[in-house]
Amino acid sequence: MDGNVLTPFTIHHLLFTHMSYQVIARKWRPQTFEEVTGQEPITRTLKNAIEHERLHHAYLFSGARGVGKTTTARLLAKALNCHKSEKPTATPCSMNDPTACASCSEIAEGRSIDVMEIDAASNTGVDNVRDAIIGNVAIAPARDRYKVFIIDEVHMLSGAAFNALLKTLEEPPPRVVFIMATTEIHKVPDTILSRCQQFEFRTIATAKIAEALRRIAREEKIDVDEDALREIARAGEGSMRDAQSAFDQVISFSGKKIKAEDVETALGLAGTEVLARVVLAIAEQRAAEALAVVDDLVMRGQDLRNFCRDLLAHLRDLLVAKVAGDATGLLDSSATEESEDCCASSLPTGNWSGEIDGDAQSRAAQSDSRTARCAGRIYAYGQSACGGRRQSSACCGCWRRFAT
């Protein structure tokens, strides 16, 4: 037989060889409560409830995408059923532990017979709820302490399905725990909310996402610049999963060594120099220059919605620097000193028709930050362009009109 012919065995080998790679978001999913980033109040409450045996029979986790709702639900299920303890424990087995118990391993892999994960988006009807939940809830756990039902995207259930679940959710049999997760809590009926202990997951701070990505890069032997890490973290918009997926994409683009320019190219982000160029054009009332930047972005196929988002974030940082001085920890973007110099030196220094708040102006004058001086002038121009009518503490109406 010709050696170039693909046999069934060869195809099977190639498929499973290439599919063995696990994306960063799954590979680095938190295995303990301590590893969950940015949700410390929630994990502390759950750990204390487990330690003091004050467990509720129904939990509702709400919040934005990729902030740890399903992960925390699995960790809670592991904590309830870990075999290394005679009772629920706040420190269940980690998958990194070769001696992890069978229950924790199966829950982490999504194949436990006593922990049922139900996707409400594809099981929306009352018949689905009757077959998957009500029909199984009376059956005792096969091996573990608790039978746990994790219902993801619970807001997708129909009204009839919610009604069918009410009685079971209010008075479930012993050793049954419901954990529901949703990104749209306003769609969940009040009758369901009143029967649950509710936890609202917050979006994760950019600095915490960057720190988590830094640990992953160190373990994966990826050489990445600090500016690049901050840009990837900012691209996640408060979602750890989105940031990790973006990190995966950038690694595929640039390999083991990543610079800020690689992130901007791979993710279609506007660089700091581009943003500073636009801000200066606005401050100097050079509309042609600003439109030239926009035209260049369009020619390169970049999404202008992302550009407007980045521009607003840049303006926000300038205003924060103007008010708070050299407060690096408050800034989201990774503006360089070079761009600050360019911005400060190019802004007009003549008379401005807008008035700046006296206290804010004195703080800007006392600050040594070049960004603060630059932001003060831009802010004054914004006040002038808007006729001195401040729309909000973060930005003024001219920026809003420019972004939309």
Average pLDDT over residues 241-269: 91
Average pLDDT over residues 272-286: 86
Distance from C-alpha of 371 to C-alpha of 319, rounded to nearest angstrom? 9
Nearest to 29 by CA among 116, 111, 94, 97: 94
* Position 299 confidence tier, pLDDT thresholds 50, 70, 90: confident
Query: Between these two residues, 41 and 312, which has the higher pLDDT value?
Result: 41
**Domains of the chain by residue range:** 24-201, 206-267, 272-403
* Position 401 confidence tier, pLDDT thresholds 50, 70, 90: very low
Angle at 177 between CA 173 and CA 179, to 5 degrees: 145
Q: What CATH fold (topology level) applies to the domain 206-267?
A: Helicase, Ruva Protein; domain 3 (1.10.8)
pLDDT tens digits for 52-62?
Answer: 999 999 999 99
pLDDT tens digits for 195-214?
Answer: 999 999 999 998 999 999 99
* Position 332 confidence tier, pLDDT thresholds 50, 70, 90: low
Which pLDDT score is estimated for 387? 42
Range in 33-37, 140-144, 298-302 the model is least confident about: 298-302
The predicted model scores a pTM of: 0.75
Distance from C-alpha of 287 to C-alpha of 293, rounded to nearest angstrom? 10
Q: What is the CATH number of domain 24-201?
A: 3.40.50.300
Q: Is a pLDDT exceeding 90 seen at residue 319?
A: no
Which pLDDT score is estimated for 117? 94
Which pLDDT score is estimated for 275? 87
- The mean pLDDT value of the chain amounts to 80
Nearest to 387 by CA among 378, 377, 395, 397: 397
Query: Between these two residues, 19 and 231, which has the higher pLDDT value?
Result: 231
CB atoms within 10 A of CB 186: 7
Which pLDDT score is estimated for 372? 45
Q: Give Cα 27 distance to the centre of its chain.
A: 17
Q: Is a pLDDT exceeding 60 seen at residue 18?
A: no
Distance from C-alpha of 92 to C-alpha of 99, rounded to nearest angstrom? 12
